[in-house]
Amino acid sequence: MAEVLVFHHGYGLTVGVREFAERLRRAGHTVHVPDLYEGHVFDSLEEGMAYAEDIGISTVVARGTAAAEGLPAELVYLGFSLGVLPAQKLAQTRHRAKGALLLEACVPVAGFGGAWPHDVPVQIHGMDEDPFFAGEGDLEAARALVETATDAELFLYPGDRHLFTDSSLPSYDEHGATQATDRLLDFLDRVE
């Protein structure tokens, strides 16, 4: 079974993120879910992102990096939206990473030191009309990653919802979330 480090999105560590982590545990994986917001959970994405900008996006990424310290190097890094930043950074830069699961965000690999590591598989999931994922450059970054990485998959789901995989948010899309979760679990079974 895989060991997974899960990073939450801009709302904070919501019930939906905790439930998602629990589903991975029930499938037999070891899951770590640090709270990058130190207990703060917000009612809107705008409030959550304002908090992230207040403390500094670099602080959020640094907290994610610190959360990996003391854990085995052989981790799969999973991030939801904002959480993709520390997940992608660690997958690209931490030696012996086992994989990356990037949900609803992706940044150009140059942002974390250049090329994607040839031995780190990655999956990227997002909705094809999500204004954040498809409208702010993440989709282009995801396509570029898939073109250059050795083992990379991009899954696009029909719709315009951001954070469609968090069951505790109004943007939740059961059909898309179920498909994404099934694909994530298959990925984790392959990288054990």
45: helix, strand or coil:
helix
Domain harbouring 102, CATH code: 3.40.50.1820
Q: In this predicted model, what pLDDT tens digit does every residue of 8-43 receive, in sequence order? A: 999 999 999 999 999 999 999 999 999 999 999 999
Cβ neighbour number for residue 167 with a 10 Å cutoff: 16
Number of structural domains the chain divides into: 1
Residue 177's pLDDT band (cuts 50, 70, 90): very high
Residue-wise pLDDT for 107-153, tens only, equals 999 988 878 999 999 999 999 999 999 999 999 999 999 999 999 99
Q: How far apart are CA 113 and CA 111, in angstroms?
A: 6
Contact indicator for 42, 11 with CB cutoff of 8 Å: yes
Cβ-Cβ contacts under 8 Å for 149 (sequence gap 6 or more): 116, 118, 120, 122
Please return the burial class of 153, using the count of CB atoms within 10 Å of its CB with bins 0-12, 13-18 and 19+. Answer: middle
pTM above 0.85, yes or no: yes
**Domain residue limits at 108:** 3-191
